[in-house]
């Protein structure tokens, strides 16, 4: 397959991802976690991938930096497939362009090394500055992500930092290698509300000032409004809706997207209105329902939904996989 991707674009095309869950060496038992996922992340754009736990959103993000290798499909960066092209054969070269920020940054930080070491190492691998120059850059990067006093922070070990500070270190490491793409997997889930807002504001600032492209993985549609340009909604390992953030938040077309929004607390609601929980449970990837995977939980489901999986159809920049999409004109 030939994919015509522009420079500074990250393209996922027809991604399928299987995991081995048992069987024998010659007859493995496989689980399909992601099916036929395609999207393009443009230069300077923030794309949010949202959905409940088990929807496949984190698996997709990890495929974009080859942490998970797709079973089939393509991931194209700067016009070349990172899964096969010699340009991206070394993980070091890919890491210089694409950096992952995990939900638990402590797991990606070596507990026996200082923060200075964590930042010096990528600077020395990817640069040719002197020791004094790299020390100065460490200081500058720490200050840029709000870790001050920089000298004191640089001398600390990961366990001596708070969760929010460790997440800032992870962002600083992406800056240290000059990454153009950040993949942030639930970067605020383990943080309190105030620190969540600070981390999201920092990511938005980097996007605005440095033109960084971002994939933000989250189960909370509420965190995407202030940073995302577009939203991909996943359910049961597939994309069920995709569009501009304003369109998705104000006029969701898929019943699942609407249910996600209805389950979010709103600060403009009067009194103690109960949240509208989504009925039922997310589907078991080992036993996905026939037809539309959401139909057992959908109030609008008909017989067709149980028997026929809807295709992802695109109209005027909006994509939705639903036999009975909800049409609302937000421009009226």
| Share of residues in the chain with pLDDT > 90 (%) | 63
Lowest mean pLDDT among 17-21, 23-27, 218-222: 218-222
Task: Tell how far CA 174 is from the center of its chain.
Answer: 15
Spatial separation of the C-alpha atoms in residues 79 and 85, rounded to whole Å: 10
Q: Is the pLDDT of residue 3 over 60?
A: no
Mean pLDDT of 100-116: 88
pLDDT at residue 267, rounded to an integer = 52
Domains of the chain, CATH where assigned: 10-22+29-107+182-266+274-289+308-320 (3.40.50.300)
Spatial separation of the C-alpha atoms in residues 246 and 181, rounded to whole Å: 23
Q: Is the pLDDT of residue 270 over 60?
A: no
Spatial separation of the C-alpha atoms in residues 227 and 236, rounded to whole Å: 25
pLDDT, one tens digit per residue, over 142-164 is 999 999 999 999 999 999 999 89
pLDDT at residue 8, rounded to an integer = 75
Q: Is the pLDDT of residue 329 over 80?
A: no
Q: Is the pLDDT of residue 88 over 70?
A: yes
| Better-scored residue on pLDDT, 267 or 279 | 279
pLDDT at residue 220, rounded to an integer = 81
pLDDT at residue 2, rounded to an integer = 45
> What angle do helix axes 163-176 and 115-126 make, rounded to 10 degrees?
10
């Amino acid at each position: 397959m030939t994919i015509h991707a522009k420079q500074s674009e990250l393209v996922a095309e027809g991604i399928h991802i299987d995991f081995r869950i048992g069987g024998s060496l010659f007859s493995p038992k496989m689980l399909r976690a992601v099916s036929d996922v395609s999207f393009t992340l443009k230069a300077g754009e923030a794309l949010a991938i949202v959905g409940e736990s088990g929807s496949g959103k984190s698996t997709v993000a990890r495929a974009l930096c080859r942490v998970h290798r797709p079973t089939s499909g393509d991931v194209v960066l700067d016009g070349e497939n990172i899964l096969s092209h010699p340009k991206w054969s070394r993980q070091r070269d890919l890491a210089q362009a694409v950096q992952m920020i995990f939900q638990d940054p402590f797991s990606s930080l070596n507990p026996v090394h200082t923060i200075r070491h964590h930042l010096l190492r990528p600077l020395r691998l990817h640069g040719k500055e002197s020791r004094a120059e790299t020390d100065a850059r460490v200081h500058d990067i720490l200050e840029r992500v709000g870790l001050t006093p920089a000298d004191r922070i640089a001398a600390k070990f990961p366990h001596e930092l708070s969760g929010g500070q460790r997440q800032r270190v992870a962002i600083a490491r992406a800056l240290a290698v000059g990454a153009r793409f950040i993949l942030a997997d639930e970067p605020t889930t383990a943080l309190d509300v105030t620190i969540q807002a600070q981390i999201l504001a920092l990511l938005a600032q980097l996007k605005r000032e440095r033109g960084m492209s971002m994939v933000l993985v989250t189960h909370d549609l509420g965190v995407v409004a202030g940073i995302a340009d577009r939203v991909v909604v996943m359910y049961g390992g597939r994309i069920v809706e995709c569009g501009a953030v304003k369109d998705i938040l104000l006029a969701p077309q898929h019943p699942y997207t609407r249910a996600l929004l209805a389950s979010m607390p709103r600060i403009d609601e009067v009194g103690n209105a109960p949240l509208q929980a989504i009925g039922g449970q997310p589907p078991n990837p080992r036993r996905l329902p026939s037809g539309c995977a959401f139909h057992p939980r959908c109030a609008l489901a008909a017989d067709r939904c149980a028997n026929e999986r809807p295709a992802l159809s695109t109209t005027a920049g909006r994509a939705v996989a639903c036999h009975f999409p909800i049409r609302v004109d937000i421009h009226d």
